[in-house]
Chain A
């Protein structure tokens, strides 16, 4: 079964509003999670590293004030897209590593965001 779960799978929001995406590790604790974005027919691009109990680390070119990341517990990281615009429409995916799994990285199911 899934070891990393995302919610929602699909979301449509109006321009200017904010939307929150959750990433949960199931049955294990993840001190670090990663958020990726993927536009249609393109590769996955790392947006930020989510660190439990501390600030997220953002990749170059990713606006930290627009993509708010909170990792308040060892099993939950959230990505909030603030003041969403149509160009933010994308597939957002999180990942986490299961401890003791030979560093196997598992991905969530992904969340499709459409901004209208």
Chain B
């Protein structure tokens, strides 16, 4: 089966940096994605790592270590609008290629002034 663990809640200060970790156990692995979800909205794609290392996209960076079954999302220069839930998700080949996602438990990020 698939299992992805994240911290349930994280609080950080506006302008600071925060890291959200994700550890996973999967039967197949084709990459780790990160999604942001504001209350009442749909998930929005942030980042995708298929290979080990750091991927940077603006204020957001994502890291993957396949040997450790571990990844993290790094948010810099935090803004109040970054308050949201963040999910890591694994793509696997369980069904129809690598489009199928198994989501992590989710991390509720709260930014304080």
User: Which residues of A approach B to under 8 Å, CB–CB?
Assistant: 32, 34, 36, 42-46, 49, 51, 57, 93, 95, 97, 102-110, 112
Using CB atoms, name the residue of chain B closest to A94: B42
Inter-chain contact A46/B102, CB cutoff 8 Å:
yes
Instruction: Tell whether A105 pairs with B99 under 8 Å between CB atoms, given A44-B87, A110-B42.
Output: yes
User: CA–CA, A63 to B100, complex, Å?
Assistant: 19
Measured between alpha carbons, how far is A87 from B4 in the docked complex, in Å? 25
Contact between A32 and B96, CB atoms less than 8 A apart: yes
Interface of chain B residues 27 through 52 with chain A (CB within 8 A): 33, 40-45, 48
Number of inter-chain CB pairs below 8 Å: 53
Contact B101 A105 (CB under 8 A): yes
Interface residues of B (CB under 8 A from A): 33, 40-45, 48, 87, 91, 95-106
Cβ contact within 8 Å between B45 and A106: yes
Report which of A44, A57, A97, A108 forms a contact with B99, defined as CB distance below 8 A: A97
Measured CB to CB, the closest approach of chain B to A77, in angstroms, equals 13
The reply to whether B99 and A34 form a contact with Cβ atoms under 8 Å apart is yes
